[in-house]
Structure 1
Amino acid sequence: MLPETELNFGMKCVKLMLFVANLMFVLIGFLLLTIGLTIKSIYSNFDHFLVNHYYDASKLAIAVGIIIFFVAFFGCVGALKQSVCLINVYALLLFLVLMMEIAISIVASTMRYNLTDIVRKEMTESMKFYNADSGYLWDSTQYNIQCCGVVGPHDWDEYSTEFNLTKVPRLLMDSRSDDLLSSNIAENVTVYDVQIAFRVPTTCCINESCESQHSVYSEGCLIAITYIINECALLLGIGALCIAFIQILGIIFANLLAKSVRKLKTQIEVERSERRQHIYEQLANAANSKQKVSPVLYTPTSSEA
């Protein structure tokens, strides 16, 4: 059996590792909470373009980040009190959090499947309500991302009569090259505003004048939005998985500490029992030795007689 001092030293080392692991978990919880809040904020910018389940992973990450703070505090209390029960409960809570982090990674990964089709459908549907709920969202998206429509400016053609959209003229030139217009060689160029190229919201225009189809963003918003959502889901999935692997260390440290505490307490009880038994044996031997001593008989001498 190991000496008590050696067990104490080993338990102190494991306890120190558990405190370090708990400090890491607090930082990890803060990181996971920050990632969840950031991604939820990014997704809220495209609220009308996403279905509700796209928020599940970020909400779960926020919840797990908060739970990790309480679990880390619980682990510190268990380590200080050297309670095997508290430490075992702490290890169980870590395991449950580990399962939740794996669930975050799975949910974030599934979000990437059929993402383009889902977002395209939601964006096309939201264009019908441009003058209502989705107007601000469409304007802010097109202005910030510098895009127009779902796949291009012509996506707004269907709604040109319903909404008050900006008329963009189509420029027809009798020259062979568009470079003549940009080089301001007006003597060889004749420009005719003969028809409307398309009607778009003003946020599709590169400048305020929006004088031609070349002054409108030609790229649609679908590619940019799906890229942002895809990268956020990838970041959340990989981050949760990495945190889960790190958290396995905490479970190992908790089990080692519980084992050390259990071993030390068992050895202390054994030593107490041995000391108690030794005391009982000493008392019994003392009692037996007193009984074995022969009585001294007093015999009077002749003078005393």
Structure 2
Amino acid sequence: MEIQNTQKMKFTKTETEYNMKSIRFLLLTITTMFIIIAGLMIVLGFSVYSHYHTFSFFYESAKTGRFFTPSILSIIMGMFLLIVTLFGFFGSLKQSTCLVNLYAFILALMLIGKLVVVILAFTLDTQSLRNYIYVPVTKYAADPEIAMEIDRLQVCLNCCGSNSYLDYVGMEFSSNQTTVVVSTHVNGDQVVVKVPETCCITRGDEFCTTMRANSCKAALVNLFVQNSSVIGVLGVSVMFIQLLGVIFAILLARCIRKMKSEKTLQTWKIKEQMILARQENEQSTHRTEDNIGDSVYIAHHECSTA
């Protein structure tokens, strides 16, 4: 009976170790994927920010220092994810229940936060976003720096004016600014409008033949919405991997705790067997000494010859 219990205990212990190694391998694989994803998020965020950071000039909230573009949000989340993955990585290698549980807890919090971000990204109100965008077309002729920013915006986003090229009606340009003439009809009347050269795609001898008809404010809104949609799609993909990370982290912590409990129980049983063996040895020694003390020594009779 004792041999059967010992064999059963050894089988359970081997199965627990096997499950822990499998789960730890899966968790390390997911953690490695998190490191790669975090690096890609940081690189993507910096590349997008370096390409479009000049457009933050046209967002009202950027002037107060509280402006967050999807690229900045991607950089922050990537750095935070990179730091969090260290808990899971070292917790798996060191078999630390505390680090693995902390890793699962922080991943769960990030999962909830990312769910909120994804919902906001897909339900973004474009009309509210338009209220935070301001293209200072009225200051184009007076401020060369603003004129340079607007020219760059109009060329990059293929737009003209804040709402349309009609925003330049009646504006007096300086002699240093290059302009073109546009002929259009407003309320049935033909109107000639002088606009910056960056509003024109192709020009003829006297007038601009092909205009950039899009609104710069609408173009900025579309740019922000497109970046938000990309962040939302990537967020859904990362959320699925994070959910797997939370599940495997909880399972690994449970296996580590179970394995440590079995090792502690086995150590306790070994010590108990050693104590019982020592007590039995001492009792057998005492019985041997008692038998020796109760025995009587009879000497042999010596014979003498006369």
Per the normalisation by structure 2, the TM-score is 0.79
Q: What is the CA distance between 1:270 and its match in structure 2?
A: 0.5
Aligned to 1:108: 121
Residue 227 (str. 1) matches residue 222 (str. 2)? yes
Aligned to 1:136: 148
**Alignment counterpart, residue 267 of structure 2, candidates 272, 276, 297:** 272
Q: What is the CA distance between 1:244 and its match in structure 2?
A: 2.1
Q: Is the 1:48–1:134 contact (alpha carbons within 8 Å) kept by the matching residues of 2?
A: no
**Alignment counterpart, residue 103 of structure 2, candidates 71, 76, 90:** 90
Q: What is the CA distance between 1:139 and its match in structure 2?
A: 0.6
State the Cα RMSD in Å: 2.9
Distance 1:304 1:254, change over 3 A: farther
**Alignment counterpart, residue 137 of structure 2, candidates 127, 152, 166:** 127
Distance 1:224 1:246, change over 3 A: same
Q: Is the 2:134–2:217 contact (alpha carbons within 8 Å) kept by the matching residues of 1?
A: no
Aligned to 2:71: 58
Q: Is the 1:64–1:101 contact (alpha carbons within 8 Å) kept by the matching residues of 2?
A: no
Deviations, residues 191-225 of structure 1 (Å, cap 9, x unaligned): xxxx9610100111223656225343333334433
Q: Which amino acid is 1:89 matched to?
A: L
Residue 19 (str. 1) matches residue 28 (str. 2)? yes
Distance 1:304 1:268, change over 3 A: farther
Aligned to 1:74: 87
Per the normalisation by structure 1, the TM-score is 0.79
Q: Is the 1:15–1:79 contact (alpha carbons within 8 Å) kept by the matching residues of 2?
A: yes
Q: Distance in 1 between matches of 2:230 and 2:37?
A: 14
Q: Distance in 2 between matches of 1:304 and 1:289?
A: 41
Q: Which amino acid is 2:16 matched to?
A: L
Task: Give every structure 1 segment of 4 or more consecutive aligned residues whose post-TM-superposition deviation is greater than 6 Å.
Answer: none
Aligned to 1:298: 297
Q: Distance in 1 between matches of 2:182 and 2:218?
A: 26
Q: What is the CA distance between 1:271 and its match in structure 2?
A: 0.5
Q: What is the CA distance between 1:108 and its match in structure 2?
A: 3.4
Distance 1:112 1:201, change over 3 A: same
Q: Distance in 1 between matches of 2:224 and 2:70?
A: 12
Aligned to 1:187: none
Aligned to 2:5: none
- Structure number with the bigger relative contact order (C-alpha 8 A, sep ≥ 6) is 1
Q: Which amino acid is 2:148 matched to?
A: Y
Aligned to 1:182: none
Q: Which amino acid is 1:73 matched to?
A: L
Distance 1:171 1:88, change over 3 A: closer
**Partner SS state of residue 249, structure 1:** helix
Q: Which amino acid is 2:225 matched to?
A: N
Q: What is the CA distance between 1:43 and its match in structure 2?
A: 4.2
Q: Distance in 2 between matches of 1:304 and 1:43?
A: 126
Q: Which amino acid is 1:14 matched to?
A: I
Q: What is the CA distance between 1:37 and its match in structure 2?
A: 2.8
Q: Is the 2:27–2:245 contact (alpha carbons within 8 Å) kept by the matching residues of 1?
A: yes
Aligned to 2:247: 252
Q: What is the CA distance between 1:153 and its match in structure 2?
A: 1.8
Q: Which amino acid is 2:230 matched to?
A: L
Q: Is the 1:57–1:107 contact (alpha carbons within 8 Å) kept by the matching residues of 2?
A: no
Q: Which amino acid is 2:151 matched to?
A: D
Q: Is the 1:64–1:100 contact (alpha carbons within 8 Å) kept by the matching residues of 2?
A: no
**Partner SS state of residue 3, structure 1:** helix
Q: Which amino acid is 2:167 matched to?
A: D
Aligned to 2:43: 34
Q: Which amino acid is 1:26 matched to?
A: I
Q: Distance in 1 between matches of 2:126 and 2:220?
A: 15
**Partner SS state of residue 181, structure 2:** strand
Across the two proteins, how many residue pairs are aligned to each other?
280
Deviations, residues 261-280 of structure 1 (Å, cap 9, x unaligned): 11111101100100110111
